[in-house]
Structure 1
Amino acid sequence: MRVSSKLLQAVEGHHYLDLVTDEAKYRIYLMNDYVIRIRCTFDEQFAEEASYTLAMTAWDDKMDGMVEDRKREEALPAQYEDLGTHLLLRTNQLRLMIHREPFAIEITDAEGRVLHEDLKERPYVKDKHGRLYHYSNLTDEDHYYGFGEKSGHLNKKKRRLRMHNVDTIGYDSEHTDPLYKHIPFYIKFNGKTQSATGLFYHNSHASTFDMGCERSGYWNKYSYFCADGGELDLFFMYGPQIKDVVRHYTDLTGKTILPTQYSLGYMGSTMYYTELDRDSDQAILNFLDRCKAEGIPCDGFFMSSGYTTGEDGKRYVFNWNNQRFRHPQNFIEQMRSKGAALAPNIKPGMLLTHPLYKQFDEAGAYIKDDKGDKSQTDRYWGGAASFVDFTNPKGRQLWKDQLKASFINLGVTSIWNDNNEYEINNPDALCEFEGGKKEISALRPLLPNLMAQAAKEAIAEAAPNTRPYIVNRAGFAGIQRYAQTWAGDNNTSWHSLKFNIPVILGMGLSGVANQGCDIGGFFGPAPEPELFVRWVQNGIFQPRFSIHSCNTDNTVTEPWMYPSYTPYIREAIQLRYRLIPYFYSLLYEASVLGSPVMRPMVYEFQYDPATWEESFDFMLGRSILVANVLEKGAETRTVYLPEGSEWIDWHTRERYAGGQTIRRKVSLDSIPMFIRSGAVIPLAPYLQNIHNDRIEELHLLIEPSENASFVLYEDDGVTNNYKNGDYLKTTINVETDGNTVISFKKDGAYASTVKRIVIDLVCNQIAPVQVMLQGRKLPMFLDPAEWKAKEEGWYYDLELKTAKIKYDNSQADYEIAVNFDIKDLISI
């Protein structure tokens, strides 16, 4: 075992500091005031910088031409002070101390509060098997969040977690580990100091996090990271807020790609239709017609891999089964006419009997065996298969050619990448690695990212101005730059419904804002009616909203599967569509700041200890608290309302102080939601299809008891024109000092489709006495019917304590002034 125990030498390089110890070498970059890179190798020299992952660097990297929009920053000068027992480096926010003997690194904030401490006497270790360890001190006040796609409660303290993406069909969302994603990043939040920090281990070997599960009386309490190979290359990030850490992490690995707007609609799916003997195309078209007849909006369909079935019953990617889909292009055009996108299932493993196998094999496009002589084969759906090597330019090009010929040239620009965990059992199988040759064990979780990147590039080449919509099951850190994700083949149970929530919340904290899970459960018997209703009521708040199933009892999960319960399903999905402008604005925020859409309570309220362990209630953006009913037969729901805000029941407008737990009665149609004080929530009340409907009337739900701001984002939703300024960002500012002023400031060239604005202004104690639009008094109505018939004006809904203000939209900046002065009727 090799352990760094003594600092021997420090050498200042160009914007970095090199350290030599008795066992390992280190290189430290002060990336900026908040982010520090610590790179460690036990070899004679550092390996070449070659990252598919990083979106921000401060050095030359072999993959600079591969990573689109990579930002090159200049690191801060790494000048140190020699203080005898230790060296000291400074940024405006951080102090990094390098202890000489025993060697260890300690990081504090500018006031000296400890943020990170290596475990002295074994901070960085390499064992005889080549495994690398990094040990960190742990305190009783620490909470650990993130880790990508992980089962169980949100806080992962005292958990041991494996990073190794696997196809885990029918997994237990509380206990199964690992799952499909491999994201070696976590957030540490210390409740005592109220400081949040992050650690990202830039290493794609299989690895393990132990967050205090292991204990030894000879050492301080500790956590550790262990990787099967590579280097210990870690990035430390300082908040002090959790949301700051997420922003810094997504600066490093990339922001969530701005999606097509229609991807926020209901996406139908089931394996059942594509496994019919024939006419699967008509089954899907009939599904769309049935949705319309039932009043259930739908904007697309994820087409399972049965469409690829050959005459031998095996699945062959890029192959259309002509018994099930007689005229693919005609089918795609019919779907488009019905306002629905098609997302075909694509798999990177190609069976040895695949008609295209020889072409890919002769081109050297597959991952090779450990000698580099032959294509590696392994278990896959239907038998032995080889796997496309996306680190090989030849593999990428052949794959893109087939994507174009089979789908994109037919009008398909939505791609569903599935079964891409790359479960190759020979760890020494060789990837091309852009000519550098590297074992699959070092690159495995990166291949799903590169697969998504290839789809993005193929769409850009064949349809340059079409915004791609790519969905991935597997992935590594940075997958958010290319794809929406989902939590794989979940089990159909109440347990899955509940524990899929913290799985999604952990992904959001790990930079992946656009994701979800299969609604209704993928694997198992059909969900019982109550479970199905509750799952849909929860699923409407997930960025990816798709009911998808592979039921084990010869049934298919459809919105109308239980006719007497269909009204509950319809009502929930229609609520989802009302929220589309809010969702789209939140995903724009994610594309700029990295913010999650579904947010754990601790993300918004880290100063409230009651939120630190909350795993199931969550915030949708800043403004909506969602407390779904997750228990069978529930008649009441207990909800904790965090302190620091006031809360208004979405349905009744009853107002509650924060910092208390309430209990409310629930029925099968209940979707418990609470509006946060200072909320600004845009809604589309009449939207039924995102492809075909124009949002001409926009409702703004505003709670004005505190100053607030929200950016409403609009563009055409389908092209890349927004990159050239064809967007509209409307910053809505709410200022209150007894009276309320709502200002609208526009930025961008996009011509909004919104013709009319209706503000639902949630009032507290009293009604307005006057409403002014740009200094002009709007008419006030006592009769709601009369207000409804007019083009502009306002009235006060006494039951809901809401002022409803209506006027024509303006392309210019403007403001609404609402006067709450008491009108003295007696003195008049």
Structure 2
Amino acid sequence: MKISHKIVNIASGANVLELETNAAKYRIMLINDEIVRIRCTFDEQFAEEASYALAMTAWEDKMDDLLEERTRVAALPIPYEDLGTHLLLSTSNLKVRVYKEPFAIEITDPNGQVLHSDLKEKSYVKDSLGRLYHYSCMDDDDYFYGFGEKSGYLNKTKRRMRMHNVDTLGYDSELTDPLYKHIPFYIKLNGKSKIASGLFYHNSHDSVFDMGCERSGYWNKYSYFCADGGELDVFFILGPQIKDVIRNYTDLTGKTMLPAKYSLGYMGSTMYYTELEKDSDKAILKFLEKCEQEGIPCDGFFLSSGYTTGQDGKRYVFNWNRDRFQDPKGFVEQMERKGASLAPNIKPGMLKTHPLYAEFAEAGAYIKDEQGERPEIDRYWGGAASFVDFTNPKGRELWKKHLKDAYISLGITSIWNDNNEYEINNLDAQCHFEGSGKEIGALRPIMPNLMALMAKQAIAEVDPDVRPYIVNRAGFAGIQRYAQTWAGDNHTSWKSLKFNIPVILGMGLSGVANQGCDIGGFYGPAPEPELFVRWVQNGIFQPRFSIHSCNTDNTVTEPWMYPGYTQYIRDAIQLRYQLVPYFYSLLFEASTVGSPVMRPLVYEFQQDAKVLEESFDFMLGSFLLVANVLEKGAETRSVYLPEGTDWFDWYTKEWYRGGQTIEQKVTLGSIPMFIRSGAIIPMAPGLRNIHKDVIEELRLLIEPSEESSFVYYEDDGKTNNYQKGDYLKTTISIRNGKETKISFVKEGRYETPLKTVVVDVICKEVAPVQVKLADTKLPMFLEPAEWEASAAGWYYDMEQKTARIKHEYVKDDYDLIINFDVKDLISI
């Protein structure tokens, strides 16, 4: 065993501090005022810089040419003070103390508040099996969030979790570990100081996080990270707010890709249709027709892998079963005419009986055995298979060729990457690694990221203007740059409905803003009616909204499967579509800032001790609290409304002060939702298809008692022209003074199709006495029908306590000015 006990040599470069201890070498770099890199190796020298995960570096890296999205920054100069017992490095926001003996690193804010501290005498360790450990001090009132896709409650304190990609069919969303994603990053929030910070371990070997599960009386309380190999390459990331940690982390690993807008629609899916003996295409087209008949919006269909089935009943990627899909190109065109995209299921494992197996083998495109001579063969769905090596340019190019031939040439621009966990049991199987060679045990979670990148590149090579929609089941840190994800093959149960929420929230806190789960449950018997309704009512708030099933009782989960309950399903999905402008603006925010779409309450209300462990109620963006009904037979729902703001019931606009728990009666149709004071929520009433419908009326729901702002984002939703400035950002701001001013400031050259804007202003205490559009006084109506018939004006809805303001779309910047003075009708 090797343990760094003391520093034996110090060398300083322009922007890196080189340290040698009795056991290991270290490089410390100040990436910026908020990010510190600590790199440790127990080998004779550091490995070459070669990262598929980082989107931002301050050094040359082997993958610079492969990753077009990578940016290079200049690290800060690194002068240090030698204070005898320790070295001191400083940024404007951090103090880094490197203790000489016993060796340890401590990071504080400028006020001396400890943010991270290594466990002295046991900080950096390599054991006799080659495993690497990093031990950190912790307090009993520390809360830990993130870790990627993890089961259980949001706070992972006293949890031990394994980082490993695995195909967890029918998993328990409270207890199963690991799942499909491997993201070695977490956020620590100290319960006393309420300061947040993060640690990202840039290491793709299998690993373990122990967040205080292990205890020893010989040591201060600690947590640890343990990796099976590689280096201890640690990035410390400052908050002090959780949202700051995520912003900085996604600067490192990349922001969420802005997807095609239709991806926010309902995506139909089931394995059932593609397993029919024939005419699966007709079944899917009938599904879309049934959606239209039932008034259920739908914008696409995930095509399960049964479409690839060969004569022997095996699934072969890139193959179309002509009994089930007689004319794939014609089918894609028919789908397009109906306003629905097609996302075919694609798998990276190729069975030995695959018609293309030899072509990939001859090209050397597979991961090879440990001698690097023959394709490695392992278990897979359907039998023995080899796996495409996406660290090999030959594997990448051949994969893209067949993506184009089999799908993109047909007009398909949506790719569903499935079963890509790379469960290769021989960890010494060899990957090309851009010519350097490396074992799969070091690269397993990287493969699904590169698989998604290949889909993005292949589509761009055919048509650089089209915006792709890519979905991945597995992934590593940075997967958000290329794909939407989902939480795999969940079990059909009330528990899955409930605990899939913190699974999704944890992914959002790990930089992956665009994700969801299979609504209704994937594996198990058909959901009972009440469970199905509640799951859809929850699913409409997930960025990925798809009802997807592989039911074990010979049934298929469809929106109308229980006719007596279809109205509840229809109402929920139509609410989802009404909120599409809000969702799309939140995805734009994720693509620029890194913010999650679904946010745990602690993200928005970090100072409220009562929300630090809330796992099931969440915020949709900054302004909407969702408290879904998650219990069978529930007649009431307790909801804690965070302090520091006011809240308004979505339906009645009843006002509640924050910092209290309320009890609401619920029915099967209830979706408890609460509007935060200062809310600005853009909506599109009547939207039914994102592909075909043009939004000409924008509705803004605004609560003006608290000053705030929101960026309403628009572009064409389907091309990459937004990257060339063809977008429109409208910053909507609330300012309070003698009068309430709602300002609209525009940026960008996108020509919006909007013709009318309706602003619903919640009036907490009194109705307006006057409303002006810039300098023009808008007419006030007493009758709603007169207001409806007018081009501009306002009226007060007494039941909703809302002033409804309407005007024609204004292209330039402007203000709405609302006067809430109380008119004295007696003394006039």
Normalised TM-score (structure 2): 1.00
Q: Which residue of 1 aligns with 2:633?
A: 633
Q: Give the whole-Å Cα distance in 1 for the aligned partners of 2:85 and 2:745.
A: 55
Letter in 2 for 1:150: K
Please tell me whether residue 367 in structure 1 is matched to residue 367 in structure 2: yes
1:463, CA displacement in angstroms? 1.4
Q: Which residue of 2 aligns with 1:806?
A: 806
Q: Which residue of 2 aligns with 1:81?
A: 81
1:14, CA displacement in angstroms? 2.7
Q: Which residue of 2 aligns with 1:314?
A: 314
Q: Give the whole-Å Cα distance in 1 for the aligned partners of 2:547 and 2:602.
A: 29
Letter in 2 for 1:723: Q
Q: Give the whole-Å Cα distance in 2 for the aligned partners of 1:357 and 1:260.
A: 33
Deviations 1:412-432 (A, max 9, x none): 000000000000000000000
Q: Which residue of 2 aligns with 1:748?
A: 748
Q: Give the whole-Å Cα distance in 2 for the aligned partners of 1:60 and 1:773.
A: 54
Q: Give the whole-Å Cα distance in 2 for the aligned partners of 1:554 and 1:296.
A: 24
Letter in 2 for 1:72: R
1:78, CA displacement in angstroms? 1.1
Q: Give the whole-Å Cα distance in 2 for the aligned partners of 1:706 and 1:501.
A: 29
Q: Give the whole-Å Cα distance in 2 for the aligned partners of 1:505 and 1:22.
A: 42
Q: Secondary structure at the match of 1:39?
A: strand
Q: Secondary structure at the match of 1:178?
A: coil
Q: Which residue of 1 aligns with 2:208?
A: 208
1:753, CA displacement in angstroms? 1.0
Q: Which residue of 1 aligns with 2:457?
A: 457
Q: Secondary structure at the match of 2:453?
A: helix
Q: Give the whole-Å Cα distance in 2 for the aligned partners of 1:702 and 1:290.
A: 36
Please tell me whether residue 238 in structure 1 is matched to residue 242 in structure 2: no
Q: Which residue of 2 aligns with 1:610?
A: 610
Q: Which residue of 2 aligns with 1:157?
A: 157
1:737, CA displacement in angstroms? 2.2
Q: Which residue of 2 aligns with 1:304?
A: 304
Letter in 2 for 1:563: P
Q: Give the whole-Å Cα distance in 2 for the aligned partners of 1:67 and 1:220.
A: 42
Q: Give the whole-Å Cα distance in 2 for the aligned partners of 1:191 and 1:384.
A: 50
Please tell me whether residue 824 in structure 1 is matched to residue 792 in structure 2: no
Please tell me whether residue 339 in structure 1 is matched to residue 333 in structure 2: no
Q: Give the whole-Å Cα distance in 1 for the aligned partners of 2:567 and 2:790.
A: 32
Q: Give the whole-Å Cα distance in 1 for the aligned partners of 2:518 and 2:469.
A: 18
Q: Which residue of 2 aligns with 1:269?
A: 269
Deviations 1:144-189 (A, max 9, x none): 0000000000000000000001000000000000000000000000
Please tell me whether residue 644 in structure 1 is matched to residue 679 in structure 2: no
Q: Give the whole-Å Cα distance in 2 for the aligned partners of 1:759 and 1:6.
A: 65
Q: Give the whole-Å Cα distance in 1 for the aligned partners of 2:740 and 2:800.
A: 19
Q: Which residue of 2 aligns with 1:710?
A: 710
Q: Give the whole-Å Cα distance in 2 for the aligned partners of 1:146 and 1:384.
A: 35
Letter in 1 for 2:25: K
Q: Which residue of 1 aligns with 2:15?
A: 15
State how 1:638-717 maps to structure 2 within 5 Å: 638-717=638-717
Normalised TM-score (structure 1): 1.00
Q: Give the whole-Å Cα distance in 1 for the aligned partners of 2:117 and 2:680.
A: 41
Q: Secondary structure at the match of 1:115?
A: strand
Q: Give the whole-Å Cα distance in 2 for the aligned partners of 1:605 and 1:352.
A: 53
State how 1:390-789 maps to structure 2 within 5 Å: 390-789=390-789
1:738, CA displacement in angstroms? 5.0
Q: Secondary structure at the match of 2:781?
A: coil
Q: Give the whole-Å Cα distance in 1 for the aligned partners of 2:471 and 2:156.
A: 27
Q: Give the whole-Å Cα distance in 2 for the aligned partners of 1:517 and 1:69.
A: 28
Q: Give the whole-Å Cα distance in 2 for the aligned partners of 1:92 and 1:141.
A: 27
Q: Which residue of 2 aligns with 1:387?
A: 387
Deviations 1:178-221 (A, max 9, x none): 00000000000001111100000000000000000001100000
**Percent of aligned pairs with the same residue?**
73
The RMSD of aligned alpha carbons is 0.5
Deviations 1:641-662 (A, max 9, x none): 0001100000011000000000
Q: Secondary structure at the match of 2:262?
A: helix
Q: Secondary structure at the match of 1:397?
A: helix
Q: Which residue of 1 aligns with 2:288?
A: 288
Q: Give the whole-Å Cα distance in 1 for the aligned partners of 2:379 and 2:140.
A: 45
Q: Give the whole-Å Cα distance in 2 for the aligned partners of 1:677 and 1:602.
A: 17
1:13, CA displacement in angstroms? 1.4
Please tell me whether residue 145 in structure 1 is matched to residue 145 in structure 2: yes
Q: Secondary structure at the match of 1:302?
A: strand
1:739, CA displacement in angstroms? 2.4
1:37, CA displacement in angstroms? 0.2
Deviations 1:241-264 (A, max 9, x none): 000000000000000000110000
Q: Give the whole-Å Cα distance in 1 for the aligned partners of 2:562 and 2:91.
A: 61
Letter in 2 for 1:65: D
Q: Give the whole-Å Cα distance in 1 for the aligned partners of 2:738 and 2:291.
A: 47
Letter in 2 for 1:717: G
1:109, CA displacement in angstroms? 0.4
Q: Give the whole-Å Cα distance in 1 for the aligned partners of 2:255 and 2:302.
A: 25
Q: Secondary structure at the match of 1:306?
A: helix
Q: Secondary structure at the match of 1:757?
A: strand
Q: Give the whole-Å Cα distance in 1 for the aligned partners of 2:772 and 2:14.
A: 60
Q: Which residue of 2 aligns with 1:27?
A: 27
With 73-82 and 198-207 compared, the bigger mean Cα shift is at 73-82
1:464, CA displacement in angstroms? 1.1
Deviations 1:47-93 (A, max 9, x none): 00000000010011000011122110111111110000000000001
Letter in 1 for 2:58: A
Q: Secondary structure at the match of 1:805?
A: strand
Letter in 1 for 2:155: N
Letter in 1 for 2:753: T
Please tell me whether residue 172 in structure 1 is matched to residue 172 in structure 2: yes
1:500, CA displacement in angstroms? 0.1
Q: Give the whole-Å Cα distance in 2 for the aligned partners of 1:91 and 1:812.
A: 42
Q: Secondary structure at the match of 1:512?
A: coil
Letter in 1 for 2:592: V
Q: Give the whole-Å Cα distance in 1 for the aligned partners of 2:142 and 2:238.
A: 15
Q: Secondary structure at the match of 1:638?
A: strand
Q: Structure 1 runs of 4+ off > 3 angstroms?
A: none
1:686, CA displacement in angstroms? 1.1
1:736, CA displacement in angstroms? 1.3
Q: Secondary structure at the match of 1:456?
A: helix
1:28, CA displacement in angstroms? 0.3
Q: Which residue of 1 aligns with 2:815?
A: 815
Deviations 1:336-366 (A, max 9, x none): 0000000000000000010000000000000
Q: Give the whole-Å Cα distance in 2 for the aligned partners of 1:791 and 1:285.
A: 40
Letter in 1 for 2:73: E
Q: Give the whole-Å Cα distance in 2 for the aligned partners of 1:89 and 1:822.
A: 59
Deviations 1:357-378 (A, max 9, x none): 0000000000000000100000
Q: Which residue of 1 aligns with 2:52?
A: 52
Q: Which residue of 1 aligns with 2:66?
A: 66
Q: Which residue of 1 aligns with 2:92?
A: 92
Q: Secondary structure at the match of 1:401?
A: helix
Q: Which residue of 1 aligns with 2:357?
A: 357
Q: Secondary structure at the match of 1:116?
A: strand
Deviations 1:497-540 (A, max 9, x none): 00000000000000000000000000000000000000000000
Letter in 2 for 1:23: A
